[in-house]
Structure 1
Amino acid sequence: MQAFLMWCILSKIKFCFPLLMIKTMVRAFTQKKSVLPFGSILTKIFQHHQVRLEGEVVTKLKKEDTYNKSTLNRMGWKKQGSVWTYCPKVDQGQRIEREEQEENPPWEAQEETLPAQAQGSSSTTDFDRMMEFMSARFDSLEASLEGKFEQVNSRLKNLEKDHVTIRSDFENIDDTIYYDLKVTRRSPKRLEQKLAASKTIDTCEETLGDDSDFDSPPAVN
C-alpha cells in the first residue's frame, strides 16, 4: 500500500488518506496475528491532541519503514529536474507492455481505429433497431390495453342491464303482493257465505274480507 501512496503522490492523484488509513486498519484488525498499521502517524496524532499513552507497548520503527530518495530510485522513479518520472527497467518495461496487451487485445485496438463515420453508422443502426423494438412493444401494449378496456365496457353494460331488470322486478313486486292479499282475504269470506247459505252456520258475521271485490253468493234453490 505504501507503494500505491507514493505512486498517487508522485502522479498527483487525489485520494482521501484518512479513509484509506481507516480501511487498512480495519482490514488488519480482522486478520489473525496482525499489527495495527500507521503506528507512527497515530502516535503523532495522539500526542498532538494530548492523549495519554502510558501503558502502551512501545515499538521502534524498522529501517524499511523509512522512505527516501534511494527507496524511490529502487522502485523505478527518477527525478528529472523537479519532476519525478517512472523509469522502469528493461524487464519491467516488457512486463508492463505485455500486461497492457493482455488488457487491450489487438481486435479491440482495431475496433478503436475504425473511422468515425463507420462508428456513427453503427450507432445509428443500433438506435434504429432499438426504436423499432420499442415501437413494436408499445403497439403490442396498446392493443392489449384496448382489449382490456373492451372487456371492461362489456361487463359494465351487462351490469347495467342486470340493474335495470332488478329495478323493474322490485317495482312490480308491490302489485303482486297486493293481488295475493286480496285473493287470500276473499277466500274466507266466500267460504263463510256458502256455509251460511247451507244453514251450516246461523249467521254470516262480518269478517275482514273485501266486500267490494268478492263475487256475489249463488242463489239458494
Structure 2
Amino acid sequence: MDVIESTIIDVLNYSDSCVVVPTHIKPDGYLFEPAIDGEPYALQLSFSEIRGINSQSNLFREGFLRFREQEAESIYEKLGIRNTESILTDEEIKNIILLPTKSGLERLLKIQSSSMFERIRGLLVQLENSGKYDISTRVKNVITGRYKELYSGKRITEIVIRPTAQENEKVEEDKANSKVSQLEAEIEELKLLLSKSLNPVPAGTATEESKPARRGRAQNNG
C-alpha cells in the first residue's frame, strides 16, 4: 500500500470499550464505538490525522486502534512503529489469559509499557468479574508480578515462565513423532536399496534411460 498524507485509511476498534481520539481536523474528537461480537467499529481517517494521533498517543503502538491486516504493515512502517508482533488485540490477550501457554505468557512479559499493561490487567479483571471463567493462579501471578515490575521501573522482566507438564509432554510427543517419521523414511530407503541389490541389472543391459535411440533406415522413395 502506497501511503501518502491524503490516503484514507480504515481505523478499527476491536476492544469492548469506546475510544475517543481528537485530531487537528476534528479537535472535539472521533468516537470509536466498541466492537460487537468480534466485529470492529471502523472510521475512515486520513494518514495525516493518523500520523498526528500517533505523535500524541500510544493508541496504535499499543493496539488500542488497529488497521486492516492487508494494509497494517505498510502503515506501521510509515509511522515508524517497530516490533509489531508485540501489538496484541483484546482477543489475543483474553486467549493468553484463558488458555495460557509458556510462549503466550512470555509475550505479556515482554511488554514494557505500563499503560499497555493496565489494559491487560483490566481485561483480567473483566474476565474474573464475569464469573464465567476459572483463571489459573499462575496467570494471575504472572500479570500481577509484571505489573509490579513495570511500576517499579523494571523494563526487562526477571520473571521466568516454566512449561507445564502438558507442554513438556507435547514437546516430547512432537520429538517422538519426528523420530518415527525419520525412521519410516530410512526404512523406505533401505527397502529400495535391498530391492536393487536383489534384482541387479545384468551387465551390458541397457536400461530404458541408457538405451540408445534406434535409428530407422532411411527409406528410398525413389
TM class, shorter-length = under 0.3
Higher helix share: 1
- Work out which of the two has the higher radius of gyration on C-alpha atoms and give 1 or 2: 1
Higher strand share: 2
